[in-house]
Amino acid sequence: MNDKETLYQQRLNRYITAMDCGKPDMVPVAFGIGEWVVKYKGTTFQEIFYDLDKSNSIVSEMLPGLDFDIFKGGPCLWWPPMFDAMGSKLYKFPGIGVDENSTFQYNEEEYMKPDDYDEFTASPTEWLVNHFLPNISTELANPGSYRSTIALIKGAAAFAMSGSITAAAYEKWTKEHGIVGQGTGFTKAPFDTLGDALRGMKGILLDLRRRPEKVLAACEAITPHNVNCGLAGAGADTRFPCFAPLHRGAYPFLNPRQWETFYWPSLKATIEGLWAKGKRMLFYAEGDWTPYLEKIAELPERSIIFQIDTTDARKAKEVLGGRFCLQGGVPTTLLTYGTPEKIREQVKRSIDELGRDGGFILDSGGVIMGDAKQENLITMIEAAREFGVY
């Protein structure tokens, strides 16, 4: 075993021990080389988003100087050429819709209409193909046409290409730098699948009043698909969690009664379905989930890693600690507006409060934005190594 393989094994053991609520040799550190890196590299958001080779080469350049355990990914969340090929209406990307130095913007619309509920619920995958893809893609406006067929060929090819480029990059980073990827598979709460991309915020909130039974039926129909998406295919990896960014479940998008009726049952069923197959979820609780911690504690032990964004960290430790691994500890806003001294104090405090018994991964609270300061990020991982030894 060479040095990098040994490093990989150490980091992997650290990660797996923490996920199982144990106490490894030191607190594992999760880190992403996100959009914040753009302003330090003399490039533009547009170039980073469009040119995957350039984006990956920046990650390769940065990794040797950074000592962390779990890699959360590079700077571009989406590959816009795939969206361009389909004429996608979903996003405005840097340089095409927004300024070349802006991050992307989501164009929220009711891509699914209230009258579509029954057909969607009867056969979700068919409805997505027959209606949703043409609704969100200008190139698919006339299904069966030359432009539509070409767009599907290009879109599917781009999907395969980006997957293959990303997989090759991760393999290289693992071999050359001993990094461990955070997860495999991507899923969501069924209510978010419905509320984010299909009905939109306004649509889903009206539906809770006007057609609540259709919302529940749709969430039930989505649940087995979201289990499948999280598993990332039959026989795929179960060592690492699937990533699940959770949106409308944050307090106070929904009131507690709505949350318990509409949001939680299908998310719980998704988590239980994944766990039955041995797959854990990175419960990426964006925003504040404090009022719901007791309900979350009812999940099967160790079936999630709970991400602490603006949830009350002490309460999360009190209610969830020991049952589930906790991840977070450094507020995202502090990485932008704080100083290295403040970051150091915060890392020490979080490790003392959240990590004292193990079952803790130090990380930023949420997604690190483009305006975060590099000196704060470097301090975060250095302080974690200084204070994180058990």
Partner 1 sequence: MSDQEKALINPKPGVCVPWELKLEELGDFPGNEEIVKKEWEKLDDFAYNFIWFWVQR
Please name which of 169, 189, 165 lies closest in space to residue 179, comparing C-alpha atoms: 169
CA–CA separation, 179 and 71 (whole Å): 6
Please select the residue that binds partner 1; options are 106, 357, 386, 390, rule is CB under 8 A. 106
Q: Which stretch binds partner 1 (CB under 8 A): 10-18, 61-69, 119-127, 351-359?
A: 119-127
Q: What is the DSSP string of 283-323?
A: EEE-SB-GGGHHHHTTSPTTSEEEEESSS-HHHHHHHHTTT
Residues found in the chain: 390
- What binding mask, one character per residue, do residues 196-225 give for partner 1 by CB under 8 A, x or -? xxx-------------------------xx
- What binding mask, one character per residue, do residues 149-188 give for partner 1 by CB under 8 A, x or -? ------xx--xx-------------------------xxx
Q: Dihedral sign for Cα 288, 193, 19, 71, please.
A: negative
Q: How many CB atoms lie within 10 A of CB 237?
A: 16
**Nearer Cβ to partner 1, position 63 or 227?**
227
**Nearer Cβ to partner 1, position 124 or 359?**
124
CA angle 128, 129, 135 (to 5 degrees): 70
Considering the rule CB under 8 A, would residue 229 count as an interface residue with partner 1? yes
Give me the least distance between CB of 127 and partner 1, in Å please.
8
Give me the least distance between CB of 238 and partner 1, in Å please.
16
Please name which of 107, 136, 122 lies closest in space to residue 222, comparing C-alpha atoms: 122
Give me the least distance between CB of 191 and partner 1, in Å please.
13
**Nearer Cβ to partner 1, position 203 or 359?**
203
Considering the rule CB under 8 A, would residue 128 count as an interface residue with partner 1? yes
- What binding mask, one character per residue, do residues 53-82 give for partner 1 by CB under 8 A, x or -? ------------------------------
**Nearer Cβ to partner 1, position 7 or 201?**
201
Please name which of 188, 260, 172 lies closest in space to residue 227, comparing C-alpha atoms: 188
**Nearer Cβ to partner 1, position 187 or 364?**
187
Please select the residue that binds partner 1; options are 6, 9, 105, 125, rule is CB under 8 A. 125
3-class state of residue 90 by DSSP = coil
Q: Which stretch binds partner 1 (CB under 8 A): 122-130, 142-150, 210-218, 248-256?
A: 122-130
Q: Dihedral sign for Cα 244, 370, 49, 8, please.
A: negative
Q: Number of residues in contact with partner 1, rule: CB under 8 A?
A: 34
Phi, psi of 76 (to 5 degrees): -110, 120
Element (H, E) at 364: strand 360-364
Q: How many CB atoms lie within 10 A of CB 171?
A: 10
Considering the rule CB under 8 A, would residue 114 count as an interface residue with partner 1? no
Considering the rule CB under 8 A, would residue 249 count as an interface residue with partner 1? no
Please select the residue that binds partner 1; options are 27, 63, 136, 218, rule is CB under 8 A. 136
**Nearer Cβ to partner 1, position 125 or 374?**
125
Q: 155-164 — which CB contacts under 8 Å span 24+ positions? A: 155/82, 155/85, 155/86, 158/79, 158/81, 158/82, 158/85, 159/82, 162/52, 162/79, 162/82
Considering the rule CB under 8 A, would residue 21 count as an interface residue with partner 1? no
> Site residues for partner 1, window 369-388 (CB under 8 A)?
none
Q: Which stretch binds partner 1 (CB under 8 A): 41-49, 63-71, 125-133, 337-345?
A: 125-133
First-to-final CA distance of the chain: 26
* The token pair that represents 332 in the structure block: 């995202």
Give me the least distance between CB of 237 and partner 1, in Å please.
15
CB-side neighbour CA atoms (13 Å) of 44: 13
* Binding residues for partner 1 (CB under 8 A): 88, 90, 106, 118-119, 122-126, 128-129, 132-133, 136, 155-156, 159-160, 186-188, 193, 196-198, 224-229, 233-234
